[in-house]
Amino acid sequence: MFAKQWLMTAGLVLAVLVAVNVAAEPVAKSPDTVMAVGEMCGGCVTKITAKLKPMSEVGKITCDIPTKTVTVTPAAGKTLSPKTLWEAMESIGKTPKSLTGPSGTFKSKPRA
């Protein structure tokens, strides 16, 4: 009986220690920016890619038609401006419904 209680207590202590250690580890922030748009088709993907690809800050563009999202990865050593991305999307008629990146989440045009 004592061995069973000891094992249960030791297991509980171990579980708490693991949980505390996992919670204390810093979570790496993704440099990517994800924009949700209202509608997306193959033609939209072409327009979005043509608009964003020439930008020196942009390294990679991934458009996901089923989820209606655009993920933009910055070029090495570059930072993406939420406002610049928002305005680029606006200029082709694809105003984001939301934009989430290292600077935060925006539901309207960012100031910077």
Domain count, the chain: 1
Would you give the DSSP letter of residue 65?
A: T
CATH number, domain containing residue 43:
3.30.70.100
Judge whether 28 lies within some domain: no
Judge whether 50 lies within some domain: yes
CA–CA distance, 54 with 69 (Å, rounded to integer): 19
Judge whether 2 lies within some domain: no
Please state, rounded to an integer, the average pLDDT across all residues of the chain.
85
The two tokens of residue 30 are: 């993704």
Judge whether 71 lies within some domain: yes
Please state the pTM of the whole predicted model. 0.74
Tracing tokens 């004592």 back to the chain, one arrives at: 2
CA–CA distance, 87 with 24 (Å, rounded to integer): 38
Judge whether 80 lies within some domain: yes
CA–CA distance, 87 with 100 (Å, rounded to integer): 15
pLDDT in tens, 22-69: 444 555 689 999 999 999 999 999 999 999 999 999 999 999 999 999
Judge whether 54 lies within some domain: yes
Judge whether 63 lies within some domain: yes
* Range of the structural domain that residue 72 is part of: 33-106
Judge whether 91 lies within some domain: yes
Positive or negative, the CA dihedral 107, 93, 54, 63 is positive
Tracing tokens 């094992």 back to the chain, one arrives at: 7
pLDDT at position 13: 47
